[in-house]
Chain A
């Protein structure tokens, strides 16, 4: 009768059956019995450091720690006997010997496990009259974290988080016994993308956030459950709101997406919402400058310009910052009111690469990544682009999954990588083809990019033998000169091992913009236009169901004088487009540019009308995550001044153009979208299907040029912490991002005679940017890595999008001596 995999034990007189291997603490938790804990966290293995979870087990001489003891058949456990009670009281009395009890000024006060457990299980008084341990406080550990060593009870949760969950070893324990303290290795500022989580799991107020220091008490905060839209993973968050302002952001438990974690961008990146520079009233260009005006005037002006120009001479760019509903209203507005087919959210796409041919997003569910047994990352810097996804991959790696990376740089996650194949910027396709040939094929001998093909064959064998492999291709690979070929080779590998490709591309709600139909060649839901045309006419009335121009084509058409009105919503093309010179040319030839934005961004500064828009944290609706999950966003704050949601603006414009788009709520729009898009449901998944890939256009090898005077190949990448229009206004993120920088190989640096931290100027034939030099052997000599997203050093100033590869020269700025 008795199942071998289950055990039955008695806790506080109640029999309970649990799977074998369950700890006593978990067994008690299941039967609703509370045992106090500090060091144990259920996303990490038990440790037994704090001794708080003591229980009495029959036939065992002493009290046992229930978090480490495995439940066995027939065990009789007591959690409330006087012996256990006195044990718990003694432990709490010990913990409080040196705890300063400065709860009134501690940010954790009111939501502190130590406070709560002491109240519930503690003795109520202490016998210690001696002076408490006295440390200097508070200690700053980087731009985010504040450490109060007096409060620390040495549970090691934060240290183990860095070791086990994030893998970045950001915090460590130093000294012994009475002198033990937490600090960073070499007492440098914390280097981590997940350090906000340690603030959340700290059971006392030892680790607190600088951005939340003394801002609010737990009882001041009104939690609003929403979704973070800063990167695209779609983590569930809770905005704590006090007096209409977001005081902090915390992860909201969602086992399918972010579990209980969040990255630092999510934790600290939402402060731009309340930045004083938010646009409050519509701006209209008058005599060279901007003048504030009323919505009536601004809308009337736009409507008259739209009325005067025929539909196809109007184009729309952007959409990644809109909600699905706003995006849908935008699609309807441009396709059926303005009647133009030229709308595209892929502002940052390259015309020559595979960007515009692939649908962006993941086919694998984020949840399933933890169960993968082989992971192939191609040109995908996962921690810089979609950090929370890395936490899942880390779980898979810890379970023995092989992690293979192909790219130009050695990544931050290198310690977890089994095979790392580095290649020159121009030769990624060769490595990928070699890998593909070796997957279920006979490997030829020799080397590719100095990599022994036998090593590639070993990685390929792991990939071929895996039962749940995952292949991800990132933006760096797609933007490479041979991006097409890399993608084809990756597709070939996927076909051989029978999985679908994950295209790790797109920021914010780019996936929702695709879903809503902000694409020149697809109807909402990615459906072919001809197929959906009848339904669209039915719902919207007259519709332009033709195929339009893609974002790069729109910019070219504008530069050629083919547009009357360019409409930009939820994007900053001046900084986003790959080639700024082309944007300038386009802007100069378009007579009328309208921009919806929260701030006076680079693009907005050159616009004719700027309309103040709400941001995601101020809107109700849905967004689509990178894995195609429909996620709810809820308004946590009211917008500043007269700012309006993009959907509302389009509806108001439609009314002025004589068409009614009457939606009273986001639900109404969502329900209309459900009529058009089969399978759309809240919390459902819309998995993107990739169109079949045909052969890559033959680009030859002409682009491997001898760039005289420009010796370095430029590699561009996305980084988590940048100083773009939004993040420059989130002070913590701007601090983390620092000044614009570029990576240079130490050998090159020696030749150039630079010192780390020097100002250097990168110049191409197109332009130049000034950045701080950082040295790293993670890139190859002869290549320079420049992050995108710094408005002060826009990478697109260097790029000529017609050239497959940009070459730059590096000059050291010698400080002027007087």
Chain B
């Protein structure tokens, strides 16, 4: 057995020990994983993209004007919007146009956030909620009442922001 060969085995053995050292180090630390769903983390990362919200202005007017820019930008074609005209008796959003129907297929969505980026009024936002599951496909098509935040700011976004 030549000296070169001995050096080689030593080097390989050392590398293995080095790797195992990392393993052993973590073995004695408290685990990062949590016992989901019994146990949950307090918050996700600030840039996390979860379920969609249609946000409101402070005065509860809908931000969405039904422009369908989210529809055309969506890479997975998960959004359907049907617009209608505001009337003085039925003023839903500011301006002339509002979304009469707004549906997002959360099964199709890839949570890329392009809709949020394209939205000219900051109406559609991706929220914190990540627990998106259902027993039927139909239940995963979120309709407008499901998407609209229940009160201004409920989605976690400042209702006073401009866009």
A201 to B65, CA, bound (A): 26
The reply to whether B68 and A217 form a contact with Cβ atoms under 8 Å apart is yes
Q: In the complex, which of the residues A104, A137, A215 has the most CB atoms of chain B within 10 Å of its own CB atom? A: A104
| Beta-carbon contacts under 8 Å, B64-82 to A | 65-69, 71-72
The reply to whether A105 and B68 form a contact with Cβ atoms under 8 Å apart is no
Number of residues in A with C-beta < 8 Å to the partner? 14
Task: Knowing A104-B121, A105-B95, A105-B97 are in contact, say whether A217-B65 is a contact too (CB < 8 A).
Answer: no
A215: chain B residues at CB < 8 Å are 83
The reply to whether A220 and B96 form a contact with Cβ atoms under 8 Å apart is no
Task: Knowing A213-B85, A214-B66, A214-B83 are in contact, say whether A105-B96 is a contact too (CB < 8 A).
Answer: yes
A137: chain B residues at CB < 8 Å are 96
A109 to B69, CA, bound (A): 10
B146: chain A residues at CB < 8 Å are none
> Does A668 sit at the interface, judged by CB under 8 A?
no
A266 to B22, CA, bound (A): 77
Q: In the complex, which of the residues A105, A138, A213, A217 has the most CB atoms of chain B within 10 Å of its own CB atom? A: A105
A217: chain B residues at CB < 8 Å are 67-68, 71-72
Q: How large is the interface on B (under 10, 10 to 19, 20 to 34, 35 or more residues)?
A: 10 to 19
Task: Knowing A214-B84, A214-B85 are in contact, say whether A105-B67 is a contact too (CB < 8 A).
Answer: yes
User: Mask for A209-226, Cβ within 8 A of B = 1, else 0?
Assistant: 000011101011000000
User: Mask for B48-70, Cβ within 8 A of A = 1, else 0?
Assistant: 00000000000000000111110
Q: How far is the CB of B139 from chain A (nearest CB, A)?
A: 22
Q: What are 26 of the A-B contact pairs (CB < 8 Å)?
A: A102-B95, A103-B67, A104-B67, A104-B69, A104-B120, A104-B121, A105-B66, A105-B67, A105-B95, A105-B96, A105-B97, A109-B67, A110-B72, A138-B96, A213-B85, A214-B66, A214-B83, A214-B85, A214-B96, A214-B97, A215-B83, A217-B67, A219-B68, A219-B72, A220-B68, A220-B71
Could you say which of B65, B66, B71 contacts A219, with CB atoms under 8 Å apart? B71
Across the two chains, which residue of chain A brings its CB closest to B80? A243
Could you say which of B65, B84, B85 contacts A104, with CB atoms under 8 Å apart? B65
Counting from the closest, the 4 A-B pairs by CB-CB distance are A104-B67, A105-B97, A214-B83, A217-B68
Across the two chains, which residue of chain A brings its CB closest to B66? A214
A102: chain B residues at CB < 8 Å are 95
A220 to B70, CA, bound (A): 12
A747 to B155, CA, bound (A): 72
Q: How far is the CB of A243 from chain B (nearest CB, A)?
A: 9
A103: chain B residues at CB < 8 Å are 67
User: Mask for B32-53, Cβ within 8 A of A = 1, else 0?
Assistant: 0000000000000000000000
| Beta-carbon contacts under 8 Å, B102-118 to A | none
User: Mask for A98-110, Cβ within 8 A of B = 1, else 0?
Assistant: 0000111100011
A109 to B85, CA, bound (A): 16
Other A-B pairs beyond A103-B67, A214-B85, A220-B68, 19, CB < 8 Å:
A102-B95, A104-B65, A104-B69, A104-B97, A104-B120, A105-B65, A105-B67, A109-B67, A213-B85, A214-B83, A214-B96, A214-B97, A215-B83, A217-B67, A217-B68, A217-B71, A219-B68, A219-B72, A220-B71
Q: How far is the CB of B67 from chain A (nearest CB, A)?
A: 3
Across the two chains, which residue of chain A brings its CB closest to B96? A105
B68: chain A residues at CB < 8 Å are 217, 219-220
Please give the residue numbers on chain A whose beta carbons come within 8 Å of chain B beta carbons, in ascending order: 102-105, 109-110, 137-138, 213-215, 217, 219-220
A103 to B121, CA, bound (A): 12
A407 to B84, CA, bound (A): 47
A110 to B68, CA, bound (A): 10
Across the two chains, which residue of chain A brings its CB closest to B67? A104
A105 to B120, CA, bound (A): 10
A220: chain B residues at CB < 8 Å are 68, 71
A220 to B67, CA, bound (A): 12
Across the two chains, which residue of chain B brings its CB closest to A148? B96
A529 to B66, CA, bound (A): 61
A103 to B72, CA, bound (A): 14
A777 to B121, CA, bound (A): 56
Across the two chains, which residue of chain B brings its CB closest to A137? B96
A400 to B9, CA, bound (A): 104
Across the two chains, which residue of chain B brings its CB closest to A217? B68
Q: How far is the CB of B79 from chain A (nearest CB, A)?
A: 11
B96: chain A residues at CB < 8 Å are 105, 137-138, 214
A103 to B68, CA, bound (A): 11
A137 to B85, CA, bound (A): 13
Q: In the complex, which of the residues B66, B71, B84, B96 has the most CB atoms of chain A within 10 Å of its own CB atom? A: B96
A213: chain B residues at CB < 8 Å are 85
Q: How far is the CB of B46 from chain A (nearest CB, A)?
A: 28
Q: How far is the CB of A103 from chain B (nearest CB, A)?
A: 8
A310 to B92, CA, bound (A): 65
Q: How far is the CB of B150 from chain A (nearest CB, A)?
A: 25
A103 to B66, CA, bound (A): 11
Q: How far is the CB of B99 from chain A (nearest CB, A)?
A: 10
A213 to B98, CA, bound (A): 12
A109 to B120, CA, bound (A): 13
Across the two chains, which residue of chain B brings its CB closest to A104? B67
Q: How far is the CB of A337 from chain B (nearest CB, A)?
A: 47
A737 to B139, CA, bound (A): 46
B72: chain A residues at CB < 8 Å are 110, 217, 219
Q: How far is the CB of B51 from chain A (nearest CB, A)?
A: 23
A109 to B72, CA, bound (A): 12
B84: chain A residues at CB < 8 Å are 214
Across the two chains, which residue of chain A brings its CB closest to B120? A104
B67: chain A residues at CB < 8 Å are 103-105, 109, 217
A393 to B65, CA, bound (A): 45
A213 to B83, CA, bound (A): 9
A213 to B66, CA, bound (A): 12
A199 to B84, CA, bound (A): 20
Q: In the complex, which of the residues A109, A110, A214 has the most CB atoms of chain B within 10 Å of its own CB atom? A: A214
Q: In the complex, which of the residues B66, B67, B69, B72 has the most CB atoms of chain A within 10 Å of its own CB atom? A: B67
A265 to B66, CA, bound (A): 29
Q: In the complex, which of the residues B68, B71, B72 has the most CB atoms of chain A within 10 Å of its own CB atom? A: B68
A104: chain B residues at CB < 8 Å are 65, 67, 69, 97, 120-121
